[in-house]
Structure 1
């Protein structure tokens, strides 16, 4: 699943370890999320949204949103 986790994390000046601490997960989990090797559980997705201060739709699958915008007449 496409996501903007890395972009949002770096915009805040956070390391993967710092975000992992805020989410109560390992740094490796944050890396796997950012690279798309791991899809978060629903509770983790909600924690990400809360910590990053963004709605879920703004974090996950942004490519789908862009293609819907370009498909509109």
Structure 2
């Protein structure tokens, strides 16, 4: 079962219109837009703890809100 993220859902709930808008936030300045885009599009081979921690802080959510296990069909 692959690990997936809910970043786009959490962005919408928090009122962000785009990843670009999120990347311009002060707390996210150290992360490049491309890194956020890869994470949002489920294109990472490994989890990036530093990025996930910053996203959870910025979006005021828990790890369980950000990540989930995709169930096999």
Common fold by TM > 0.5: yes
Partner of 1:13: 15
Q: Is the 8 A contact 1:17 1:26 kept in 2?
A: no
Q: Post-superposition shift, 1:49?
A: 0.7
Structure 1 gap ranges (5+):
65-73
Gaps of 5+ in 2: none
Shift of 1:32: 0.8
Q: Tell me, what secondary structure is at the counterpart of 2:4?
A: coil
**TM-superposition CA deviations, 1:18-69 (whole Å, max 9, x none):** 21123122222221111111244212211111011110111012546xxxxx
For the pair shown, the structure with the greater C-alpha radius of gyration is 1
Q: TM-score, normalised by structure 1?
A: 0.70
| CA RMSD in angstroms, aligned pairs only | 1.9
Indicate the structure whose relative CO is greater, using CA pairs within 8 Å and at least 6 residues apart. Answer: 2
Tell me if the contact between 1:2 and 1:62 (Cα under 8 Å) persists in the aligned partners. yes
Decide which structure has greater helix share: 1
Report the TM-score when normalising by structure 2. 0.70
Give the total of aligned pairs: 64
| Bigger strand share | 2
